[in-house]
Amino acid sequence: MASRTEAVLARKGEIMKRALGMDYAQFERSPIAFDYEGMMAAHGFSLDDITRIQRAGGVGDTPLLELRNLTDLVRSYADPGMGARLFVKDEAANMAGSFKDRRASVSIHVAKAKGYLGVIAATSGNYGAAVSSQAARASLKCIICQEAFDSRHVGQPEIIEKSRICEAFGAEVVQMTVGPELFSHMLELLDETGYFAASLYSSFGISGIETLGAEIAREMTALTGAAPSAVVVTHAGGGNTTGTARGLKRAGATSTQVVSASVDLSGLHMASDSDFNRKSFTTGHTGFGVPFATWPDRADVPRNAARALRYMDRYLTVSQGEVFYVTEAMAKLEGLERGPSGNTAMAAAMSIARDMPRDATVVVQETEYTGAGKHHWAQLNFARENGVQVVAGDPSTNVPGKTIVIPQAPEQIRAKEMDLSKMRRSYVRNALQHAGEGYAPSADDIAFLAADTNTTPEAVEEIVAGLAAGA
């Protein structure tokens, strides 16, 4: 007999169709290919429309700040003539304190316009605060489903802080222990209430981030005379990378390199009760970044609008200690006390900036608010309480879940390059497995996979042939 979870997941398409007012079946072309751009455009909003929606919600048009002191620091240990200028888009200036407000604003606007009485989202992070804030402005009811505790009923201080702020905005927060039930319980609540699904992975939410990329392109051109050389994006489920890259391209910044960055939490399992409170970061880490990049359609919607491999030119990882070091450096050198998850991209940006010429520009595309449980000191104290050793030393010796090694000097910050070719191969393998045993991809499938992996049909055909040969 099917379990309760299996039963509700089997009805995912039906429930999400009603909860989003969107029929995903119209975009399907095969078991592999679907009309991605058609799905993204189906809401009917132009970029200018989304900008107007966001301004009405108190979202967007955030400050773009040049980080002169951090740039000088990087140049102090870079080779002569090297050390790109560093900038940051201060998304903590949004209503609920992160770029997630951009995602939430569009979903809440759609929910209100379509006559839904409330909204539901599944998130342990900043998105819950964003949805709760925008729902309050629109006078909609709001339920946030949150994976909050381990089996001891102990929650990370960052997650507890986010529960608090969601409740402060008037949302009902449904807290669960770690496990596979987060999305399935959200589906149950959507089925029972008839509320709108404010999914992280719908086209509404991803389109909302496009304004961020477009603002960066326009503002950097006005400030420096050109689009940025590189934009560094903290990467988890893929929406941040996808939306920012699409916005950059729509604003004409086609030569800007899109660099995704995650905290390396390899060795920790995100659904493990014993690992849950030893990971320090609730988002922006490889536990989400790699699985969602190599198979985006694991999401709560039938087809995920966040498809990071389409857009990332590089994928870098940094250690926990490097991120905490940069978080404190930002506060002490630039007067910006911001949350560590957003500073994942800043650690990677400092690493690549030292190897770029001085006339190059690197933009970190977001910050997040901090305070209470989100503060890096609170997270480090909690790590110690859970048996994680926090020491100063060489960050390359960091072991997720066991040690957090804080660099002793900024020149020790060195991001590691992920092998995108391996990730592309994993994506193609996953697509073929989900299509079914014996499925032979068509020319349309090959073209879709090439777009989805940011490669060529020839490269995809080579991967398919290698998989068939067992290579």
- Please write the tens of the pLDDT for every residue from 7-41: 887 888 899 999 999 999 999 999 999 999 999 99
Q: How far apart are CA 313 and CA 391, in angstroms?
A: 33
Q: Is the pLDDT of residue 104 over 70?
A: yes
What the block records as the tokens of 5 is 């979870």
Q: What is the mean pLDDT of residues 324-332?
A: 97
Identify the residue with better confidence: 181 or 274: 274
Q: List phi, psi (to 5°) of 318.
A: -130, 160
Residues 245 and 311 sit within 8 Å (Cβ to Cβ): yes
Output the pLDDT for position 274. Answer: 87
- Residue 18 sits in a domain whose CATH number is 3.40.50.1100
In a domain, 226, yes or no: yes
Instruction: Give the rounded percent of residues in the chain with a pLDDT score beyond 90.
Output: 84
Output the pLDDT for position 129. Answer: 95
Q: Is the pLDDT of residue 431 over 90?
A: yes
C-beta neighbour count of 279 within 10 angstroms:
22
Judge if 188 and 166 occupy the same domain. yes
Q: How far apart are CA 9 and CA 298, in angstroms?
A: 11
In DSSP terms, 231 is beta-bridged to 258, 363
Output the pLDDT for position 216. Answer: 98
- The DSSP result for 249-308, as a single string, is HHTT-TT-EEEEEEE--TT--TT-TTTGGGS--SSSBHHHHHHHHH-GGGSSSSS-S--G
Last residue of a domain, one of 154, 182, 203: 203
Q: pLDDT averaged over the chain?
A: 95
Q: What is the mean pLDDT of residues 336-362?
A: 96
Last residue of a domain, one of 184, 203, 222: 203
Judge if 89 and 102 occupy the same domain. no
How many domains in the chain?
3
In a domain, 219, yes or no: yes
Judge if 340 and 367 occupy the same domain. yes
In a domain, 360, yes or no: yes
Pairing of strands 85-89, 64-66: antiparallel
In a domain, 133, yes or no: yes
In a domain, 422, yes or no: no
Instruction: Give the rounded percent of residues in the chain with a pLDDT score beyond 70.
Output: 99
**In sequence order, what are the residues at sequence separation of 6 or more whose Cβ sits closer than 8 angstroms to the Cβ of residue 441?**
32, 432, 435, 449, 464
> How many H-runs (helices) and E-runs (strands) does the chain carry?
18, 13
Amino acid identity, position 347? A
Q: How far apart are CA 92 and CA 366, in angstroms?
A: 8
| Residue-range definition of the domain harbouring residue 438 | 427-468
Q: Is the pLDDT of residue 127 over 50?
A: yes
Confidence bin at 270 (pLDDT 50/70/90): confident
Amino acid identity, position 454? N
Confidence bin at 1 (pLDDT 50/70/90): very low
**In sequence order, what are the residues at sequence separation of 6 or more whose Cβ sits closer than 8 angstroms to the Cβ of residue 338?**
90, 92, 327, 330, 331, 367, 368, 369, 370
Output the pLDDT for position 105. Answer: 98
Encode pLDDT of 54-87 as tens digits: 999 999 999 999 999 999 999 999 999 999 999 9
Q: What is the mean pLDDT of residues 130-154?
A: 95
Q: pTM for this structure? A: 0.95
Q: Is the pLDDT of residue 192 over 90?
A: yes
Q: Strand, helix or coil at 144?
A: strand
Output the pLDDT for position 342. Answer: 87
Judge if 340 and 330 occupy the same domain. yes
Judge if 192 and 311 occupy the same domain. no
Output the pLDDT for position 471. Answer: 63
Residues 47 and 210 sit within 8 Å (Cβ to Cβ): yes
Judge if 308 and 328 occupy the same domain. yes
Encode pLDDT of 215-230 as tens digits: 999 999 999 999 999 9
- Measured between alpha carbons, how far is residue 259 from residues 74, 170, 356, 396 in Å? 18, 36, 14, 21
**Greatest Cα-to-Cα distance within the chain, rounded to the nearest angstrom:** 68
In a domain, 236, yes or no: yes
